[in-house]
């Protein structure tokens, strides 16, 4: 089984695929790519295709390289499936950047749906409410940031995009732009335009050199 979605981040196309297999009454799913806009729908389609004989679903997240707040919707889709079908679900093996987002959202990166406090006993309602509020606040902050950067110059917009998608500081976002500009020998404004165009779903007028420079700069400055 396999489902996929395509999106664009910082000027280059990326894809999320969800492969899987069924072992007896256990489904093992392997998402690959980035948890961004549309990822929850991809997972929902994959889960809908599982046979009725499945009694547990385990996601191996080692091949997920990046997530933004859409990744929280991905987890909600998995949790909803588990509750509706009354089967245990897990999502383990998270990489560095997704782990930071999960921690910011107040979730356990070891297994955000079944953390240590929830494995043996129900989660107190107060904890559930607090976690829900944390998730709502995170989504609201990102949405406000996206709206605020819309009216700013392109370099400020690009910094805001990087901050929203990579959960980084303003200084780190600036370092990414500057590093990519130097690596590709391209004006900073043109690099920023690539980032903002990619975030808006447009096809940016970027050379392969600029795209490679952005990837390298993100790895160097944010990891």
- With cut-offs at 50, 70 and 90, classify the pLDDT of residue 205: low
pLDDT of residue 29: 96
pLDDT surpasses 60 at 124: no
* pLDDT at 122 > cutoff 50: no
Chain region(s) in the chain for CATH 3.30.750.24: 2-138
Q: Residue 16: its pLDDT value, please? A: 86
What is the rounded average pLDDT for all residues in the chain? 79
Q: Which comes out higher in pLDDT, residue 121 or 138?
A: 138
Q: Identify the band that residue 18 occupies on the pLDDT scale cut at 50, 70 and 90.
A: very high
Q: How confident is the model at residue 220 (pLDDT cuts 50, 70, 90)?
A: confident
pLDDT band, residue 90 (cuts 50/70/90):
very high
The radius of gyration computed from the CA coordinates of the chain, to the nearest angstrom, equals 19
Tally of residues, the chain:
223
Distance of CA 137 to the CA centre of its chain: 17
Q: What is the spatial distance between Cα 9 and Cα 123, in angstroms, rounded to a whole number?
A: 36
**139 has a pLDDT exceeding 80:** no
Give the whole-angstrom CA distance, residue 175 versus residue 185: 15
The predicted pLDDT at position 13 comes to: 40
Higher-confidence residue of 95 and 198: namely 95
Give the DSSP letter of residue 36: -
pLDDT at residue 5, rounded to an integer: 45
Say whether pLDDT at 57 is over 90: yes
pLDDT bracket for residue 156 (50, 70, 90): confident
pLDDT of residue 158: 85
Helix (H, G, I), strand (E, B) or coil at 15: strand
Least confident of 45-54, 84-93, 190-199: 190-199
pLDDT confidence bin for 10, thresholds 50/70/90: very low
On the question of pLDDT at 70 being above 50, the answer is yes
Question: Which of 78, 77, 80, 142 lies closest to 105 in space, CA to CA?
Answer: 142
Q: What is the fold of 2-138?
A: Transcription Regulator spoIIAA (3.30.750)
Predicted pLDDT at 202 = 54
């Amino acid at each position: 089984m396999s489902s996929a979605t395509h999106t664009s981040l910082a000027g280059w196309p990326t894809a999320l695929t969800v492969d899987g297999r069924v072992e007896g009454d256990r489904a093992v799913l392997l998402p690959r790519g980035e948890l961004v806009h549309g990822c929850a729908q991809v997972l929902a389609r994959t889960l809908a295709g599982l046979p009725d004989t499945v009694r547990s679903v385990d996601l191996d997240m080692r091949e997920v390289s990046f997530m933004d707040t859409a990744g929280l919707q991905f987890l909600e889709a998995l949790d909803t499936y588990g509750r509706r079908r009354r089967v245990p679900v897990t999502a383990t093996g998270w990489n560095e950047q997704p782990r930071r987002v999960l921690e910011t959202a107040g979730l356990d990166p070891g297994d955000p749906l079944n953390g240590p406090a929830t494995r043996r006993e129900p989660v107190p309602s107060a904890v559930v409410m607090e976690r829900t509020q944390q998730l709502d606040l995170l989504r609201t902050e990102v949405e406000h940031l996206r709206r605020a950067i819309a009216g700013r110059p392109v370099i400020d917009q690009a910094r805001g995009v990087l901050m929203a998608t990579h959960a980084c500081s303003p200084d780190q976002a600036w370092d990414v732009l500057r590093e990519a500009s130097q690596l590709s020998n391209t004006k900073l404004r043109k690099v920023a335009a690539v980032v903002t165009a990619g975030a808006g779903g447009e096809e940016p007028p970027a050379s392969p050199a600029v795209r490679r420079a952005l990837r390298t700069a993100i790895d160097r400055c944010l990891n």
